[in-house]
A and B are shown apart, each in its own frame.
Chain A
Amino acid sequence: DIQMTQSPSSLSASVGDRVTITCRASQGISNYLAWFQQKPGKAPKSLIYGASSLQGGVPSRFSGSGSGTDFTLTISSLQPEDFATYYCQQYNSYPMYTFGQGTKLEIK
């Protein structure tokens, strides 16, 4: 089974900061990597698929990169609405999926 490891597990930052979250796969997954944002009490929202393609309606301050085993999600200038928990998801083993353990982004 493919394991996904995210880091850090939590992160404190300020509005306007640039932040980066990392996701590592236990084996190569090509670019079959997605990123999700989840706010308390809500379902996850898809942000990025194919490691770097933005879903429609997602602000351009979000970007993704990587291929193989190492991936990053970058938010170029944090906005108040971006404070949430972020998850990576591999879908190389579609329709079986694996999620990272999550990164909680908090206001400093």
Chain B
Amino acid sequence: EVRLVESGGGLVQPGGSLTLSCAASGFTFSSYAMSWVRQAPGEGLDWVSAISSTGGTTYYADSVKGRFTVSRDNSKNALYLQLNSLRAEDTAVYYCATRSSGSGKRPLDYWGQGTLVTVSS
């Protein structure tokens, strides 16, 4: 069974930093691209970032480019998101998500339970 467990959320001041983690199990982590998706309170889903299976290629939404950094450690089955220069509008539940097996393009079939990041003074 695929399991994704996020951690690291919390309250941080504007301009501060935070690192989120996602522990993966139940699938061959090193074979799949991974994504982060966030959801501000009462709002919709917003794709934030993705990283290739090897970690060699990263992708970002324009809203976080230059401030957030995605990385992974395939030896630990772990995904990370470093959040810098945080703003009030970054307040959201952050989900770790991935695709199912198979070739080609796939949607985000598996999601963690999310971790809440609150940016406030």
Contact = CB atoms under 8 A, between A and B. Distances in A.
Interface of A: 1, 32, 34, 36, 38, 43-44, 46, 49, 55, 87, 89, 91-92, 94-102
B112 A92 contact: no
A100 B34 CA distance: 20
B52 A99 contact: no
A87 B47 contact: no
Interface stretch (B18-26, B79-87, B102-110): B102-110
Nearest to A94: B105
Contacts of A38: 45
B33 interface: yes
Given A49-B109, A89-B108, A96-B59, A44 B50 contact: no
B-side interface mostly: loop
A103 to B, nearest CB: 10
Contacts of B35: 95, 97
Interface residues of B, number: 22
A63 to B, nearest CB: 17
Contact of B45 (A32, A87, A96): A87
17 contacts: A32-B107, A38-B45, A44-B95, A55-B109, A91-B106, A94-B105, A94-B106, A95-B50, A95-B52, A95-B59, A96-B47, A96-B50, A97-B35, A97-B50, A97-B107, A99-B46, A101-B44
Nearest to B51: A95
A13 to B, nearest CB: 20
Contact of A91 (B44, B46, B107, B113): B107
Contacts of B95: 43-44
A95 B107 contact: no
A22 B11 CA distance: 37
Residue picked from A94, A99, A100, most chain B C-beta under 10 Å: A94
Given A95-B52, A95-B59, A44 B45 contact: yes
